[in-house]
Amino acid sequence: MENLVIQVAAAINTRTLYPASHPRVVNAVEQMNAALRRVLEENESESVTFLIVDDDLVAEERVLRKMNLSQMQFIEMLKRCGIERLTLAAGLPSQEAHQFIDALAAGTIPESSPHIVIGRVQTVDKPKVEEHELTIEKLEEVRESFANFRKERRLPLAQMDELVWGFIDAITRTTRAVLPLSRLREHDEYTFIHSVNVSVLVLAQARSFGIRGATLHAFGMAGLLHDVGKLMVPLEVLNKPGKLEGEQWALMQGHAEKGAWFLSEQEQATPLSIVVAYEHHLRYDGKPSYPVPKTTRIPNLVSRMTSIADTYDAMSTVRPYQAPLGKASALELLQKRAETFYDPLLVANFKQLIQHAT
Q: Which residue has better confidence, 287 or 191?
A: 287
**What values do phi and psi take at 30, rounded to 5?**
-65, -40
Among residues 75, 92, 119, which one ends one of the domains? 119
| pLDDT score of 263 more than 90 | yes
List, in sequence order, every residue forming a beta bridge with 118; answer none if it has no partner.
Answer: 86
Q: In sequence order, what E strands does the chain have? A: 47-53, 56-59, 62-63, 85-89, 116-119
Number of domains comprising the chain? 2
Domain of 187, CATH number, reads: 1.10.3210.10
Is the Cα torsion angle 166, 198, 214, 4 positive or negative in sign?
positive
**pLDDT score, position 53:** 82
Average of pLDDT values for 100-127? 81
Least confident of 4-18, 60-74, 117-131: 117-131
Q: Tell me, yes or no, whether 85 and 195 share the same domain.
A: no
Q: Verify that 166 and 293 share a domain, yes or no.
A: yes
Question: Is pLDDT above 60 for 219?
Answer: yes
pLDDT of residue 126: 45
32 & 178 share domain: no
Residues 49 and 175 in one domain: no
For residue 129, being part of any structural domain is answered with no
Among 36-50, 136-150, 273-287, whose mean pLDDT is lowest?
136-150
Q: By three-state DSSP, how is residue 337 classified?
A: coil
In a domain, 130, yes or no: no
Is 126 contained in some domain? no
- At 186 the pLDDT is 45
- 3-state SS class at 139: helix
% of the chain with per-residue pLDDT over 70: 88
Which of 174-178, 203-207, 215-219, 270-274 is least confident? 174-178
pLDDT at 320 exceeding the cut of 60: no
DSSP 8-state secondary structure symbol assigned to residue 74: H
Q: Quick check: 174 pLDDT over 70?
A: no
* pTM score of the predicted model: 0.85
Average pLDDT estimate for 35-56: 91
Q: Closest Cα to residue 252, out of 273, 274, 237, 231?
A: 237
Tell me the pLDDT tens digit for each residue of 182-191: 444 444 477 8
Contacts of 234 (CB under 8 A, 6+ apart): 251
Taking 50 as the threshold, does the pLDDT of residue 286 lie above it?
A: yes
Residues 94 and 145 in one domain: no
- Do 99 and 145 have their domain in common? no
Residues 160 and 241 in one domain: yes
Same domain? For 325 and 298 the reply is: yes
Domain of 96? Answer: 2-119
Q: Do 149 and 113 share a structural domain?
A: no
